Amino acid sequence: FNVLKYLLRRLSIDDGDYDAIIRMLVETFAVFLTSIKVGHGPEKKLPTVLFQLGTEADRVEIEKAWPPICPADRNHFELRFEFPFGCPSSLAAHFAASAHALGICVYAYINGAIVLLKDSKSLIFARFDEEVKHGNENA
């Protein structure tokens, strides 16, 4: 929010207009709302420019938020999509960013997000993997 005020500092904008400007930027996908910077505090969505997120996934942080074996008191949801003819570079990042709106983001990078849903026991890991490892295709 303060970054937005700084960027628009040369314009004559009333403080009450910033919420409408943020809504417009979210609706046009220029920014998205995330709780990633708030951490474990109260749920509050902050406007974030997509490319402020890190470009590389931190495997240690991912395993903390999304352990290889799902704990008994949690639910993990994972959907996989394949794009055999490629994927536009911004599509993956925008897909991951859209997951932030589903709950509290516990970890995020440019092509992925781990989001704790409002029931506080279900996690979604939205991510784009460049290489898809197939199982027994020829079996």
What are 45-80's pLDDT values in tens digits?
778 887 778 888 899 999 998 998 999 998 988 777
Residue 115: both structure tokens together: 């989001």
Nearest to 33 by CA among 131, 127, 102: 102
Strand partners, 75: 122
More confident residue, 53 or 42: 53
Q: pTM to 2 decimals? A: 0.71
